[in-house]
Amino acid sequence: MAMLEVTDLRTYFTTMEGTVQAVDGVTFTVEEGEAMGLAGESGCGKTTAALSIMRLLPSNGYIKTGKIMFNGKNIVTLNAPKLRKTRWKEMSIIFQGAMNALNPVKRVGDQITEPIMLHENVSEAAAIKRTKELFELVGISPDRINEYPHEFSGGMRQRVMIAMALACWPKLIIADEPTTALDVMIQAQILRLLKNLQKELSLGFIMISHDLSVLAETCEKLCIMYAGKIVENGTSIHVFKNPRHPYTRGLVAAFPNIKGVKFMPEPIPGNPPNLIHPPKGCRFYERCKYKIDSCNETEPLLFEIEPGHFVACHLVQKGVI
Amino acid sequence: MTADTDIIKIENLNIWFQMRQGFLKDVISKKLRYAKAVDGISFNIKKGEIFCLVGESGCGKTTTGKGILRLVEPTSGSIIFADDDSDPVIKRLLHLAGEKSRKREGTAIVEMEGRRGIDIRKLTKSEMIYARQRIQMIFQDPYESLNPKMTIFDIIAEPLIVNKLSKNEKDKEARVIKALNDAGLRPPEFYMWRYPHQVSGGQRQRVGIAGALVLSPSLLVADEPISMLDVSIRGEILKLMLDLRENKRLSYLFITHDLSVAYVFSDRIGVMYLGRIVEMGPTEMVIKNPKHPYTQALITVVPKPDPTAKEEKIILKGERPDPTNIPPGCRFHPRCPYILTLCNVLQPGETEAETGHWAACHLLTPDFVIKWNTENLPKYEKIAADVEKKNTAEIDKLRKELAKLRSDLATLKSAKVKKDRQEAIKAIEKNIQKLDTEMAKAKAHVEKMKAEIVTMKAKLPSASRPLSP
């Protein structure tokens, strides 16, 4: 059985204008020691999906339906004390802006020892010892545990965040745009660190990013999300070498490859649909260049086009494209 | 104007910021500290060309862009702008710049390839207004650079009001509509009366571009214009900028940290590191055949949208360098994987590797490295010999002391005194070790220089030609 099984997850937000269907029927699995990438444009629901798995949704968000089975427990129905024991101990998250995710008035070491002491009932000395080990693991000098976040550079802060996520040796780590605010060189350092840690500790790993090329280098499996739904799902080789959904094709073509031939990235005209009143049929209908009228009538479902490669598109299913 | 003429030429531009060190220190200390954001860069942009500055954040690329528009005041150097002189704005500017002014010495006119250019740095504030009509900027963040309380019409019309360019309301509207059309916001009437929050991110950036276009500039400084946009619309903005170049013969200074965007979009690239351009040349040459170790590393770490690509990444150690404390010699040497002895001491000159493609790296001039190493070898050998002489004498002295302490130890009874002696012995042993490593280091230095001569000799029959060693 897979370590994490998300089935038909629907996460909605109540807003002044109406209910935003941010995640609308998302299904995926993550095995132990597997790295999965969740890609899509801003506003497609990838961060909301991650926050649903952690049950960290803002107060106006709620999980409408769906099951999140993690190590045999359904996260959706877990009560608060049990949830508290699962979070950080069994799964943890690395947030996007390390600048804002760390408490500026607490020493970084204290911020890491705190969860260790809370979760594992160990003495402070033992927790500090582990914090030092963690620092060494992520490539920061252990002498720096008594410094404040502002004394660290952006890349180093992100390393602190990674150390914090590893604090209780969880089995699943979700990384939400871990390198977006960083320079290319620092990004490469952090990605290599994450990849090595994931392999060494055989972690389940969900990496969320809008940058497909970052995911191409770190993940074995990819889910492409569009307007709250997964439109294509497969190994990264499937997605990059044989993209089938028109949106995935557009997205792959939008990334220039510095090693390839020089060509202008192809834009996808238009904007994502309003998720308060999502279209009845295919959500990509408006922007699709292959669309036919019937696409707007029924919602396409994921189907297996080759072993392990799923696409949600009427036209692909009919063999038109 | 022919195709090959320069529209702007920047020579030896420096932009330094004075560091505050506390009130008293500022007053007392004679030595001021500077953050050298831009430290002597030169480049030119041809009419209709896209020149791209790439580099990590903090390397000074944005400061360069702002310096050209004098949004930050350059410390020294020259920025010569030479546009088509049949243009009335340029005509007026040339006339004003040729006149004497209390605010500058001489005129601001500079002869450039037989044409009259204007030194932007010498223009007075009122003359800058004219220059800024022809040099405009597009900012990075379309979510923050547009005033949320103004309609799109007001935002785009504002430059016309500031520059007193519209004769009447009708003329103003016509110009705004034209700019919106040019920026691809069609139909203009649909967007004109909206507020920025009512349009999407890509459209906002188009508004930013329309705001620059309304003055019909000839040079656009585009500071990371697509980095805040979603991937699927980046291509649109790049296409728009290319179309504008075709239709209006615009030239661009394109500033980005993303090498892959620079690769597909620009004609020429300058790679910046810590306030200096370390490599420059036609895009294809720089990306496919990088010469500077920094460029080489930067290219390998750019994420590639290809899961099967198996390429060794050159990941440089350390964080981004500090412009207040620029290392001596080659400023890249602390992070360079191929560092030579002379890199610590001497700043490399620009070496042409192919036509129009140069890099500032000692590795490209093996003959010069050999010459320098051979010349300086005696000096380093003498240092090594001196260190050896001095340290051996010291070590002998310490060894004697050590022997005395050890013999003492055997006769002593008191535990406390014994402990003291043991500690003293440890300290001396440590000292000896330190002196030993110092000696080994000096020797290794000499050996390394000799080895460098050998490796450089192997490289010698290269086509590279030193321009200014």
What lies within 8 Å, CB to CB, of A253 at 6+ separation is: A265, A266
Return d(Cα A283, Cα A298) in angstroms, integer.
10
Q: How many CB atoms lie within 10 A of CB A143?
A: 9
3-state DSSP assignment of residue B104: coil
Chain A residue with CA closest to B318: the answer is: A186
With vertex at residue A220, the alpha carbon angle to CA A217 and CA A226, rounded to the nearest 5 degrees, is 85
b/e string for A177-212 if b means 16 or more Cβ within 10 A? bbbebbbbbbbbbbbbbbbebbeeeebbbbbbbbbb
What lies within 8 Å, CB to CB, of A84 at 6+ separation is: none
Complex-level ipTM = 0.88
3-state DSSP assignment of residue A67: strand
**Quick check: B264 and A265 CB within 8 A?**
yes
With vertex at residue B457, the alpha carbon angle to CA B452 and CA B460, rounded to the nearest 5 degrees, is 125
Is the CB of residue A267 less than 8 Å away from at least one CB of chain B? yes
Q: How many CB atoms lie within 10 A of CB B69?
A: 18
pLDDT in tens, B210-249: 999 999 999 999 999 988 888 888 888 999 999 999 999 8
Mutation site for A-interface testing, chosen from B232, B257, B264 by largest number of A Cβ within 10 Å? B232
Is the CB of residue B308 less than 8 Å away from at least one CB of chain A? yes
**Quick check: B242 and A264 CB within 8 A?**
yes
Pick the CATH number of B6-257 from 3.90.1200.10, 3.30.1370.30, 1.10.3720.10, 3.40.50.300: 3.40.50.300
b/e string for B445-458 if b means 16 or more Cβ within 10 A? bbeebeebbeebee
The pLDDT value recorded for residue B456 is 87
Q: Which residues of A touch B186 (CB under 8 A)?
A: none
Q: What is the pTM of this model?
A: 0.88
Which residue from A81, A98, A189 is spatially nearest to B297, judged by alpha carbons? A189
Question: Can you list the domains of chain A with their CATH numbers?
Answer: 4-90+171-270+300-318 (3.40.50.300), 99-169 (no CATH)
**Quick check: B257 and A214 CB within 8 A?**
no
Q: Which residues of B touch A187 (CB under 8 A)?
A: 301, 303
B187 cis-preceded (ω within 30 degrees of 0):
yes
Distance from CA of B299 to the nearest CA of A (A): 8
The pLDDT value recorded for residue B461 is 58
The pLDDT value recorded for residue A174 is 94
* Residue numbers of chain B with a pLDDT score lower than 50: 1, 462-469
Note down pLDDT in tens along chain A; length 321 residues: 789 999 999 999 999 989 999 999 999 999 999 999 999 988 899 999 999 999 999 999 999 999 999 988 999 999 999 999 899 899 999 988 767 788 999 999 999 999 999 898 899 999 999 999 999 989 899 999 999 999 888 888 889 999 999 999 999 999 998 888 788 888 898 999 999 999 999 999 999 999 899 999 899 999 999 999 999 999 999 999 999 999 999 999 888 888 888 888 888 888 888 889 989 899 999 999 998 988 999 999 999 999 999 999 999 998 888
Chain B residue with CA closest to A264: the answer is: B264
| Residues of chain A numbered 146-165 and touching chain B (CB < 8 Å) | 153, 155-156
Using the 8-state DSSP alphabet, how is residue A87 labeled?
B
pLDDT in tens, A199-252: 999 999 999 999 899 999 899 999 999 999 999 999 999 999 999 999 999 999
Return d(Cα B274, Cα B37) in angstroms, integer.
7
Which residue from A62, A1, A61, A53 is spatially nearest to A27, judged by alpha carbons? A53
B34 close to B324: Cβ distance less than 8 angstroms: yes
Tokens of B104: 């500058």
Is the CB of residue B269 less than 8 Å away from at least one CB of chain A? no
Q: Which residues of A touch B234 (CB under 8 A)?
A: 254, 265, 267
The pLDDT value recorded for residue B208 is 92
What lies within 8 Å, CB to CB, of B157 at 6+ separation is: B166, B172, B175, B176, B214
CB pairs under 8 A between A and B: 129
Chain A residue with CA closest to B241: the answer is: A264
The pLDDT value recorded for residue B3 is 57
pLDDT in tens, B282-341: 999 999 999 999 999 999 999 888 888 777 888 888 777 888 888 999 999 999 999 999
Which of A184, A210, A211 is facing B301, going by the closest CB pair? A184
**Quick check: B301 and A188 CB within 8 A?**
yes
